[in-house]
C-alpha cells in the first residue's frame, strides 16, 4: 500500500479504561477526564517521553468521538491533552465517524506518519453514553406556543431530516433484523455467538490478557469491563425477549452490544518515532480502507472495507491469523464472518463488544490495540481490525506482526 517514498507506520502501545455500563461505575466520569487518563497513561508508559519533551516529539493528538453534544463538545482531543498538563504546543483534533471514530483517528494519524509529516501520533477515542445529553433544538420562530420535544443524543438517529428516505432511518436494531433476514441468520446462532463473547472475555480477564491493556479509573471501583456476564449461556440468552420486533424478531439485549462509557488510545509512530518514545513496535500498519453501503445494512459494511484493506496490503484472507471485529450485534458479526468464510476461532479470541462493551468513540482503538497485543503474544503474522458504522459504513485496518 505504501509507496517507496512513504515510511512504515507502527503501533507501539495501547491502553484503555475498563468499559462501564450506562448508568454504571463510570457514569460519574466526564468524557474529557476519561480521555485525559488514557493520554496520561500512555505518556507515562513511554520511557523516552516526559511532560517536558512531549511537545518536541508528539506531532498531533487525534481522538474519535461519536456524540460531541455534551461535555466533549469543544474538541475533546485538545481538552484532554490540556487536562493532562502537557505542552500547549501539540495540536489536536477530534473525528466523528460514529462507531468507527477512533479507528478513523488511527488511520488519519498513520497517514500523517506515512507521508513524513510527523514521526509520532497519539490516537484514541472516548465516549460517555451515560452522560450524552438530551438536546433541545432551536425553534424556527421566536416564542413558540407549542410544546417542544427533547431528543436523546445517546445513540442512533435524532433530529432526522424529513428528506431522508424512511428505510434508511430505521433503528439500529430493526436494521439488524433486516440484515439477518437477508442473510438467513437465526436466533440460535446469534445467542451462541453472544455466549461465546462473554465466555472468552471473562476468561481473558482471568488469564490477565487485559492487564497491560487497561488502566483503572482513579476513585472508581471497576477493575474489569462491567457488562461481561461470565455465566452467560446460549440457553439462558434464548430466554430473553426480543427488543425491536414483537413478532418474528431475533435481536435481544443479550445478542447485541450494550451501551457503555470508556476511553482508549494508542501510540503510532515511524521507526524513528518509536526510538523517540523508547518503545518497541508491536505491529506494522499494512493497509486500511473504508467502505459504504445502504444505511440500513450498516452491519455488513466491514465485509468490503476489510476486503479492500487486505487488497491494499497485498494479502488475502487465507493468510490472516487474527481478527478483531467489533460486535455491534451478533447477527451482523455472523453475516460478516460468513461472507469472509474464515475460521470463527480466529475472531475476537478474547471476547468482543457484546461482552466487553461498545462506547462508540472508543471502540476503534480498543479493537486495534487488542489485535496488536494478540498478535504480539501469538506470533500471528497478519491480522485485521474492523468495525461496522451507523448510516452504512465500515472501516478496516490490516496489521503485520513487527517481530
pTM strictly above 0.85 = yes
Neighbour tally for 239: CB within 10 Å = 9
pLDDT at 140: 86
Q: Taking the alpha carbons of 222, 15, 304, 129 in that order, is the dihedral positive or negative?
A: positive
Q: Read off φ and ψ for residue 243, nearest 5 degrees.
A: -105, -40
Find the DSSP H helices in 158-226: 172-183, 187-206
Of 195, 209, 279, nearest in space to 237 by CA: 195
Look up 388 and say whether it is catalytic: yes
Which residues pair with residue 95 across a beta bridge? 64
Backbone dihedral region of 179: left (phi > 0), alpha (psi from -120 to 50 degrees) or beta? alpha
Look up 198 and say whether it is catalytic: no
Residue 398 near residue 312, CB atoms below 8 Å? yes
CA 335, CA 179: separation in Å to the nearest integer?
8
- Catalytic annotation, pick one of 183, 198, 336, 388: 388
Which residues of the chain fall short of a pLDDT of 70? 1-4
Q: What is the DSSP string of 108-170?
A: HHHHHHHTTS-SEEEEEEEEESSSPPEE-PPPSSSS--S----EE-SSS--S--TTS-GGGSS
Per-residue H/E/C for 46-89: CCCCCCCCHHHHCCEEEEECCCCCCCCCCCHHHHHHHHCCCCCC
| Grid cell listed for 281 | 513496535
Q: Render pLDDT for 89-114 as a digit per residue (tens, 0 to 9).
A: 999 999 999 999 999 999 999 999 99
Residue 316 near residue 310, CB atoms below 8 Å? yes
Look up 358 and say whether it is catalytic: yes
CA 157, CA 175: separation in Å to the nearest integer?
12
Helix, coil or strand: residue 235: helix
pLDDT at 4: 52
- Catalytic annotation, pick one of 5, 99, 183, 198: 99
CA 304, CA 327: separation in Å to the nearest integer?
17
How many CA atoms does the CB half-sphere of 206 hold within 13 Å? 10
Amino acid at each position: 500500500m505504501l509507496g517507496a517514498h512513504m515510511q512504515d507506520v507502527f503501533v507501539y502501545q495501547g491502553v484503555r479504561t475498563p468499559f462501564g455500563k450506562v448508568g454504571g461505575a463510570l457514569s460519574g466520569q466526564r468524557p474529557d477526564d476519561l480521555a485525559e487518563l488514557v493520554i496520561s497513561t500512555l505518556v507515562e508508559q513511554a520511557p523516552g517521553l516526559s511532560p517536558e519533551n512531549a511537545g518536541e516529539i508528539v506531532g498531533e493528538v487525534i481522538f474519535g468521538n461519536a456524540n460531541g453534544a455534551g461535555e466533549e463538545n469543544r474538541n475533546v482531543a485538545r481538552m484532554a491533552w490540556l487536562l493532562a498538563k502537557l505542552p500547549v504546543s501539540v495540536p489536536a483534533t477530534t473525528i466523528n465517524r460514529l462507531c468507527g471514530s477512533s479507528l478513523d483517528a488511527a488511520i488519519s494519524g498513520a497517514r500523517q506518519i506515512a507521508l513524513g509529516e510527523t514521526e509520532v501520533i497519539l490516537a484514541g477515542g472516548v465516549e460517555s453514553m451515560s452522560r450524552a445529553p438530551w438536546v433541545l433544538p432551536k425553534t424556527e420562530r421566536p416564542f413558540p406556543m407549542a410544546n417542544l420535544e427533547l431528543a436523546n443524543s445517546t445513540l442512533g438517529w435524532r433530529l432526522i431530516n424529513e428528506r431522508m428516505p424512511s428505510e434508511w432511518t430505521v433503528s439500529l436494531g430493526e436494521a439488524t433484523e433486516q440484515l439477518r433476514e437477508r442473510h438467513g441468520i437465526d436466533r440460535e446462532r446469534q445467542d451462541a455467538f453472544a455466549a461465546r463473547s462473554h465466555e472468552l472475555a471473562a476468561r481473558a480477564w482471568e488469564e490477565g490478557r487485559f492487564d497491560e491493556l487497561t488502566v483503572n479509573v482513579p476513585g472508581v471501583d471497576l477493575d474489569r469491563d462491567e457488562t461481561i456476564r461470565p455465566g452467560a449461556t446460549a440457553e439462558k440468552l434464548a430466554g430473553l425477549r426480543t427488543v425491536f420486533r414483537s413478532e418474528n424478531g431475533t435481536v435481544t439485549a443479550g445478542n447485541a452490544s450494550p451501551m457503555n462509557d470508556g476511553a482508549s488510545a494508542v501510540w503510532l509512530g515511524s521507526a524513528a518515532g518509536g526510538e523517540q518514545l523508547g518503545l518497541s513496535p508491536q505491529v506494522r500498519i499494512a493497509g486500511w480502507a473504508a467502505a459504504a453501503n445502504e444505511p440500513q445494512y450498516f452491519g455488513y459494511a466491514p465485509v468490503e472495507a476489510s476486503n479492500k484493506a487486505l487488497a491494499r496490503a497485498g494479502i488475502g484472507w487465507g493468510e490472516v491469523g487474527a481478527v478483531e471485529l467489533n460486535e455491534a450485534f451478533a447477527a451482523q458479526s455472523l453475516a460478516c464472518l460468513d461472507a469472509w468464510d474464515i475460521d470463527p476461532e480466529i475472531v475476537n479470541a478474547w471476547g468482543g463488544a457484546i461482552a466487553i462493551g461498545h462506547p462508540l468513540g472508543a471502540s476503534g482503538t480498543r479493537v486495534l490495540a487488542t489485535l496488536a497485543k494478540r498478535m504480539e503474544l501469538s506470533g500471528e503474522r497478519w491480522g485485521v481490525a474492523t468495525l461496522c458504522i451507523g448510516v452504512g459504513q465500515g472501516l478496516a485496518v490490516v496489521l503485520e506482526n513487527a517481530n
